[in-house]
Chains A and B, each alone.
Chain A
Amino acid sequence: MSLNCKHSGSNSKFSSSLKLKKAKEPLHESDRVWKWRTLLLFLCLLGAAIIGFIWVFSGLNDGTSKDETLNLPQDKDRGLLEHFNVSKGQFHDSASLFQGSDQKKSLQCEKNVRDEMLLINVACAMKVICSEKQGFASQHGMIADNVEFRDQCPVREEDVPRKRGLYLPEDKSLPSASWSMSTAASGDQSCQKYVLQRKAFGARVKEQCQSFSFCSVNACWWIFLGVVLSCLMPCLCQKVLGNEKWKLFQQQLPPLQRQQQPVRSSSKSTGNWRLNFLIGFLIAGVLFSGFLYWYISTVDVSKRKDMLANMCDERARMLQDQFNVSMNHVHALAILVSTFHHGKEPSAIDQKTFGGYTERTAFERPLTSGVAYALRVLHADREEFEKKHGWTIKKMETEDQSLIQDCDPENLDPSPPQDEYAPVIFSQETVSHIVSIDMMSGKEDRENILRARASGKGVLTTPFNLLKSNHLGVVLTFAVYSTHLPPDATPEQRINATVGYLGASYDVPSLVEKLLHQLASKQIIVVHVYDTTNKNEPIKMYGPDDVIDTGLLHISTLEFGDPARKHEMRCRFKQKPTLNWTAIMASGGALIITFLLFHIFNAARLRIAKVEHDYRVMMELKHRAEAADVAKSQFLATVSHEIRTPMNGVLGMLQMLMDTGLNANQLDFAETALVSGKDLISLINEVLDQAKIESGRLELEAVPFDLRAVLDKVLSLFSGKSRKKGIELAVYVSDQIPAVVVGDPGRFRQIITNLVGNSIKFTDYKGHIFVSVHLAEEVRHPSALEDEVLKQSLTFVPNSSKNSYNTLSGFPVVDRRKSWKNFRNLSSGTDLPEEYENIKLLVTVEDTGVGIPQDKQNRIFMPFMQADSSTSRTYGGTGIGLSISKRLVDLMGGEIGFVSEPGTGSTFSFTAVLKKGETSSLDTMQQYYDPAVSDFRGLRALVVDDRSIRAEVTRYHLQRLGIIVDGIAFSMESACAYLSSCASNPSESSKISMVLVDKDVWGMDSSHPFHLLLKELRQNSRTEVPESLPKIFLISTSITPECNELKSAGLVDNVLTKPLRLSVLIFCFQEVPRIGKKRQASGGKPPILGVLLRNKRILVVDDNLVNRRVAEGALKKYGAIVTCVDSGKAALAMLKPPHNFDACFMDLQMPEMDGFDATHRIRSLEREFNERIESGEASSEMFSNVTPWHTPIFAMTADVIQANKEECMKSGMDDYVSKPFEQEQLYSAVARFFASG
């Protein structure tokens, strides 16, 4: 749907924007494109920046998490090290104990260290130290023992050499060093395990982070891609739909008013759609940034939670471990007491020993404030006991549950009689004041003691305030048994075996404090330790009072070895989580980008809307302007036409006025008025043409015409002017151009007239104007030039000897090739096979005028622009001619161009595509000059001219008359030589009938050999046949007295005035008698027609008197006997058989009864008559030779159209002739019927 939407949206949107673009200048378009590109580029950069930012951010995140994960194992390591140190210390203590107590029973020690993982090797150490004491002799046995009992020892091999090394008794540091080595190794192992765990955790965290960042980077890429796509989409649409839309737009153009409304509404809807899309995009962007914030926060919180849990668990475990270590030690102490106090007789431990030992091993139990040993004393033994120790058993103070009292035990009351007592006999120095106090007298202690001896394990009291430190503390109590009890001993057995109790008070806060000190990041979290034996009222054992609820809370259970008591550790972060800058920045960034994009697109949208609006306004203006332009052209056309009609009247009347008897003055006025009027008319015609062309109303005709005749007409038009100015004017048409072409002769002539008129206007009293027509093809292959004129005019070489050039007049001209240099396709007319009938003409008008200044050349073809405003003053004219010419040339499918050089002249060239015409379709020329032309055909001539181009032009004209030009002599001398050779060899075939000499080479010197030769020939001719002599014609620019002299002197037969053209030639030649000697023999057709028609009785039917008369005259000329009638009815009467007409020529369009009708009736009459003859009703004898009766009827029609002809045949006519009779047609029509006769 979105795609659809986009497309439909883009349809109107881009069509309109495209319209705008097309309507505007290309510059704007490129500008717009540039803007688009900039925007795109900006977006790309922005997208890349976003992605880069996110990538960096995720990398940063990784880094921090790595740091944290690295921190954690370090913490662990430190804890581990601490542990190790503790074990080491313990070991060291044992060593010193043994030293002190001087006891060498080491093997027993093994059992109390069995369950201490890290103290496994303590036994070995003990042995080592023992063996040290035992001396060198027992060393071997000890080692053997060691090997036997300690199979499982993982470091046996290492032990052996080490123990051997211990032969040096005084070296104490060595073993401890090596121990530290081995334990360090095991410590390393466990440490490595931790590290691995940590790493695994870190990796997990990292993975999470990575997956998140991957997701976000992906998302960003997608968004970026989307943005880029949405940017590209319009461009694509634009491209794809471009052409179509443009076409559509073009189609829409004419009915714009009608179309505007829907266009507007559609653009409006497009705008709405765009706005909706933008708002949607904005909302999506905001939602996305919200989601981003939530997601990052969630990840962060879970990370925090995990971290808290980890830290809390870690702390709890360490606390537990340390506590257990201490507890184990207390247990060991209990066993020590049991072993050395009760197991020995006499006791190896007294208060001093105990106090000393416990004091020295206090670092082993860093968390106990003191240990004490109470003996189990039954009531029966109390007195003996008191006597033995010299003090009475004292009772604890009622409410005082503390083990540590600062009151003097002497001040206490003796214990009241009980079943049994637990007076303290040994105590650490720190708590020596509790010696002799009965522990059973305190309620908590009593319960503790009872539980301890029943369970055989350490039990804990509820936390209470330790008096001295005012810290919360717990008391750990172990029972000491007299005998070794099996592990599954019943509580009864345990109670009975109990001999005493060992108690230790733990300072929990300092325990935790110390622990936390060892760990890093203690400032991050707040730790609370609670006794939760009573779930409803947990007792806080450690932790600051002012607890701030920071949200997260993690609870880890603590296992202190007393199943009856439950403890837990509660951790929370010290500070509330700080603002999550990452999330804020990421989401803020997304939000900013969203708003930025929204802004950009919104701005673009507004801009598009504005531009669309502008476009519509401009379109409207454009249409108004166009309408105004059309109106202007129309107005011009109308006005011109309106002016022309009365002007024609004025001119006509003026002309008539001039024919009346005016005196010279009046005639002059009238003539001036006439000339002015003519100028005005021609100007109006030009304006009318321009207007017609502009409003597109000018259509070209396509009629067959003789190009050469048209050119002749142009020449004759300008002959007067050129003669007046003394400019040579010549026309040359290439042989390759067909005699008849199809096109618009009037317009073709107009173009050439304009160009030649221009040239004449700007050429002053020197040089020439040369019009040449060639096929464009001829020019295309300059290498294969066949045409002499073209060859010469293209190879422009100065003739150095005569200081002239090989041009028509010898003046230099510009290189004409440059004038068509810019033509795109000189010969496209013949490129395609279906246009084979087309020919492309290249017409060149070359002059030696003033030329066009370089800076004015570019506006030559603009209407009403002359090269210079001074030009119009000097030369007159409106400057519209060239513009019209250009448009006409465009209409003819050609191009126009020029080259001009100030001072040298200009050459205008244009091409025009015309069709080849059938030569027979137009015989105007033949008919016009038929008698004359046939007279001259086959004659031979010699042209004498020193300019080859001019000679070629002369030859061209002669050839048109069918005169064969035998040769061209470039000087009189060569002409003489040629003539004499001809004269000496007077064969009929090579006889020269005429010599045409240009006035330039004639030379006025009468002593010239040529003149002499001529004179000689003339004199000879008196005796010979005059016809055999060549006639001499002088070609001159104007008729000068000299020419007349020459003529009267009989040197020349006649003078031809330039410009040469067919009519001039014919008139000239005809004036010279006897040149057309074959007059009687030529013209074979009229006599044949005459034979055909002689004495035929022909009826001519025409309502038009003039037509009738003309037809009559024409037919009479061929010897026919013509009868005329003026209507169909009359014809019907005349042709009612029997009659004696041989044929009938019938006009078609007549009032009352037209030709078809009349013919129809005549035919029916004839049919009737024929039937009657057949039936014998009428005597056929009278006209025996004409049966069946059928009078040939020829239609006379002005318009020869196929349909008309068919109609003629249908109505019973035999053939048709076109109305102004044409010999050939008449002949061919008539011949069918009269051939026999």
Chain B
Amino acid sequence: MDGVAQLKKRLADYTTSLYDEGYLDDQFVQLQQLQDESNPEFVVEVVSLFFQDSQRLLSELAKALEQQSVDFRKVDAYVHQLKGSSSSIGAQRVQRACISFRNYCDDQNIEGCLKCLQQLKNEYSLMKNKLETLFKLEQQLLEAGG
């Protein structure tokens, strides 16, 4: 009983910290709300989808930016995709990074883009970490029988 409560508390604190530190926003709450008995793995499913998609997009972006002549339209499209999916799951910081990325894209600033890509990667991995931790906690809680 105690362990479950502790776990619950940890989960709550962790979630709150994610919100407070700006990793997640309300969209994630909505996402969680969408999850119910009929769709118990919804959040995890969506988030892993997001991870896959992002991974792909990031590698595409890296590839696109390595080209001799960068096709900024293409880059912009990728970033737009990433932005859309990140905003869908409420990954606020990734979304913000995308916004600044797009600004550099508009300016056709390769260096800026590269920098943003780096930042995006960072944010993405951070996000991934956080969410994975969150899921792990939830899993633990579930296992503990809460």
Contacts and interface: CB of A to CB of B under 8 A. Distances in A.
A619 interface: no
B85 A1106 contact: yes
Interface string B10-46: 0010001101100000110111011110110010011
Contacts, number: 105
A624 interface: no
Interface of B: 5, 8, 12, 16-17, 19-20, 26-27, 29-31, 33-36, 38-39, 42, 45-46, 49-50, 52-53, 77, 80-81, 83-90, 115, 118-119, 122-123, 125-126, 129, 132-133
A215 to B, nearest CB: 82
Nearest to A1220: B27
16 contacts: A652-B126, A659-B132, A716-B17, A928-B29, A1071-B5, A1106-B46, A1106-B84, A1106-B85, A1106-B86, A1107-B84, A1109-B49, A1116-B39, A1117-B39, A1198-B87, A1220-B27, A1220-B90
Given A1104-B53, A1111-B88, 12 more contacts: A652-B125, A659-B132, A928-B26, A1104-B81, A1106-B85, A1110-B31, A1110-B46, A1110-B88, A1113-B31, A1113-B39, A1220-B26, A1220-B30
Nearest to B9: A1067
Contact of B84 (A655, A717, A931, A1198): A1198
A1106 B53 contact: yes
A339 B89 CA distance: 168
A1010 B118 CA distance: 61
A717 B20 contact: yes
A209 to B, nearest CB: 92
A1151 interface: yes
Given A648-B122, A1103-B81, A1106-B85, A656 B49 contact: no
Contact of A645 (B52, B88, B119): B119
B21 to A, nearest CB: 9
A628 interface: no
B34 A1114 contact: yes
Interface string A700-722: 00000000000001001100000
Contacts of A1111: 88
A793 interface: no
A1113 B115 contact: no
A871 interface: no
A716 B19 CA distance: 11
A1198 B38 CA distance: 28
A514 to B, nearest CB: 125
A1220 B27 CA distance: 6
A648 B52 CA distance: 23
A649 interface: yes
A1102 B84 CA distance: 10
Contact of A655 (B16, B19, B126): B126
A931 to B, nearest CB: 8
Contacts of A1105: 49, 52-53, 85
A927 interface: yes
Nearest to B5: A1071
Interface in A627-656: 645, 648-649, 652-653, 655-656
Nearest to A646: B118
B88 A1220 contact: yes
Contacts of A1063: 12, 16
Nearest to B47: A1106
Contacts of B29: 927-928
Given A924-B26, A927-B30, A1107 B133 contact: no
Contacts of B50: 1106
Contacts of B119: 645, 648-649
Contacts of B85: 1104-1107
A1111 B49 CA distance: 13
Q: Which of A1067, A1103, A1107 has the most CB of B within 10 A?
A: A1107
Nearest to A648: B122
Given A927-B29, A1106-B49, A1219 B88 contact: yes
Contacts of A927: 26, 29-30
Most buried by A among B88, B115, B129: B88
Contacts of A1102: 84
A1149 interface: yes
Most buried by A among B36, B81, B118: B81
Contacts of B5: 1071
B57 to A, nearest CB: 9
Contacts of A648: 119, 122-123
A970 interface: no
Nearest to B53: A1105
A615 interface: no
Nearest to A1106: B85
A659 B122 contact: no
A1221 interface: yes
Contacts of B52: 1105
A997 to B, nearest CB: 21
Nearest to B122: A652
A656 B30 contact: no
A1106 B89 contact: yes
B30 A1221 contact: yes
Contacts of A713: 19-20
A927 B20 CA distance: 16
Nearest to A927: B26
A716 B16 CA distance: 9
Interface in A1092-1106: 1102-1106
Given A659-B133, A927-B29, A928-B26, A1106 B88 contact: yes
Nearest to A1063: B16
A1113 B20 contact: no
Contact of B88 (A716, A1104, A1117): A1104
B26 A645 contact: no
Contacts of A1110: 31, 34, 46, 88-89
A713 B20 CA distance: 6
B67 to A, nearest CB: 18
A924 B27 CA distance: 10
B87 A1109 contact: no
Nearest to A650: B122
Given A717-B20, A1104-B88, A1110-B46, A655 B129 contact: yes
Contacts of B87: 1198, 1219-1220
B81 A656 contact: no
Nearest to A924: B26
A1103 B129 CA distance: 26
Nearest to A644: B119
A1107 B85 CA distance: 5
Contacts of A924: 26
When A and B form their complex, which 6 residue pairs have the shortest distance between CB atoms, in order from nearest?
A1106-B85, A652-B122, A1220-B27, A1110-B88, A1106-B50, A652-B126
Contacts of A656: 125-126, 129
A1107 B88 contact: yes
A1067 B12 contact: yes
A1069 to B, nearest CB: 12
A1147 B85 CA distance: 12
A1149 B84 CA distance: 10
A648 B5 CA distance: 34
A1206 B86 CA distance: 26
Contacts of B83: 1198
Contacts of B31: 1110, 1113
A1145 to B, nearest CB: 13
Interface string A1166-1180: 000000000000000
Interface in A693-752: 713, 716-717
Contacts of A1151: 77
